[in-house]
Structure 1
Amino acid sequence: MKVVFVGPSLPDAAQLRAADITIRPPAIQGDIRRAIDEGYSRIGLVDGGFEYQPPVWHKEILYGLSIGVRIYGSSSMGALRAAECEDFGMIGIGTVFDGFKTGKLIDDADVALLHGPEELGYPALTVPLVNVIATLDALHENGSVPSAQREILEISARNIFYKERTWGKIVCDSGLGTDLLPLLNRGMVDVKRQDARQLLAAMQRASDDPSKETPAWQLNLPAF
């Protein structure tokens, strides 16, 4: 059995998933443990709640890994937890995971965005920093944005609170003029979506058989 916790990173996940993958909303503390208890042997974590809800607990991930459950992470909360739990067997996928693993990304807020509710398809109201960086990198590589402008725009984006970070505010605060705005909107690279699709593909390829591997570490269980 396979399940993926996903929301704003890939709002149309239910239409893109394989038939054997269950889609659930972004995970909060206890959801991973609950999925393990329900018998899921392959779990994908993309999006997760935070700020007003307790986030996914590392210990519930480690519990699953300790009993042979394969747990994948990408894009957002999943990429962050995968970078933190990779040494224990969690499987990280995608560019955002690589950023956290290598230290290029260090802040939880780098993947955060303000979005609408599930009922409306999680519409994005702001731009996550990881998408800003991916977009600026792509536009710089194709010659559309010179190095100096690219650096100014990234600094501008990093200085904006994630709930207020839009392309319009990034450009306004940069002092570079509004002429760049259509280019940035048109050239937007949604790296969180790309990573989430990679996770779905990896889980589709994965065998559903329980792992027989015994980890080299031992989990000390708390009282759940």
Structure 2
Amino acid sequence: MKILFCGPTLPEAQALIGTDIVLRPPAVQGDILRATQDGATVIGLVDGHFEQVAPVWHKEILFALSQGVRVYGAASMGALRAAECAAFGMVGVGKIYQQYAAGELEDDADVALLHGPAELGYMPLTLPLVNVVATLEDLCARQKIDPAPAAQLRLAAAEIFYKHRSWRAIVARADLPTGTDLKRIEACLSTGTINQKRLDALQLIDILRSAPALRSTAPEGWTFNSTSLWKRLLNQLVASS
């Protein structure tokens, strides 16, 4: 069984994955463990909650890997956890993962955005920093914006709390030269937005489709350590099931 944890990054995920992959909502602590115990052979982690609830725990990813589950991460929480667990066998996918792995990104909030509920298709209300960065890089490459103002826009975006980040807020905060046509800049950014999170999630789905639907052998070079905290999570999962 292949399982994908996804939500606001790719609201149309269900229509894209068909019947070969089971879609579950953004993951919280215990969900990777639960998927492993449910018989998952392949797990794709894209979205995960982190502010109001406990986020996906690295330990449960290590447990899944120790059981031979193939675990892939991309785009959002998945990219972050993949960078942190790559040494143990989790596979990162996409540009955002590469940025975390290279240390270009460090903060969980770099992939965060404010969005509506699942019932409204996770309607995005703010911009994640990773999409801002991808957009500015693309516009510079196409010479739609000069490097100097792009750098100021990126700096401004990084300084804005993710729940308040929009192109209008970024342009208003950026230290741009006097006389800059702010409306033109904002329009350029809005029409040229690159949704890097979505692109990376699509890449992950392609990999999940082609991944063997069976567990691999246990990884070599390390052994899963069943600590007291881990046993507590196991007991909590059993009690809630």
Could you list the runs of 5+ residues in structure 1 that have no partner in the other structure? Answer: none
Structure 1 outlier segments of 4+, above 6 Å: none
CA shift for structure 1 position 179: 1.9
1:46-79 Cα distance to aligned partner (Å, 9 max, x none)? 0000110100000000001011000000000000
| Larger Rg computed on CA atoms | 2
Amino acid at match of 2:83: A
2:74 is equivalent to residue 69 of structure 1: no
Native 8 Å contact 1:66 1:214 kept in 2: yes
Amino acid at match of 1:151: A
Matched ranges for 1:192-203 at <5 A: 192-203=197-208
1:124-167 Cα distance to aligned partner (Å, 9 max, x none)? 10000000000000000000000111011001101100000001
Residue aligned with 1:52, SS: coil
Could you list the runs of 5+ residues in structure 2 that have no partner in the other structure? Answer: 177-181, 235-241
Matched ranges for 1:1-224 at <5 A: 1-176=1-176, 177-222=182-227, 223=231, 224=234
Native 8 Å contact 2:65 2:219 kept in 1: no
1:154 and 1:87 map into 2 onto residues whose CA distance is 31
Amino acid at match of 1:33: L
Native 8 Å contact 2:171 2:186 kept in 1: yes
State the partner residue of 2:239: none
- Size of the aligned set, in residue pairs, is 224
CA shift for structure 1 position 174: 1.4
CA shift for structure 1 position 210: 1.7
Native 8 Å contact 1:7 1:47 kept in 2: yes
Using the size of structure 2 for normalisation, the TM-score is 0.91
Amino acid at match of 2:66: S
CA shift for structure 1 position 213: 4.3
Residue aligned with 1:152, SS: helix
Residue aligned with 1:71, SS: strand
Using the size of structure 1 for normalisation, the TM-score is 0.98
CA shift for structure 1 position 189: 0.2
Residue aligned with 1:19, SS: coil
Native 8 Å contact 2:65 2:218 kept in 1: no
Native 8 Å contact 1:18 1:204 kept in 2: no
Q: % of aligned pairs identical?
A: 50
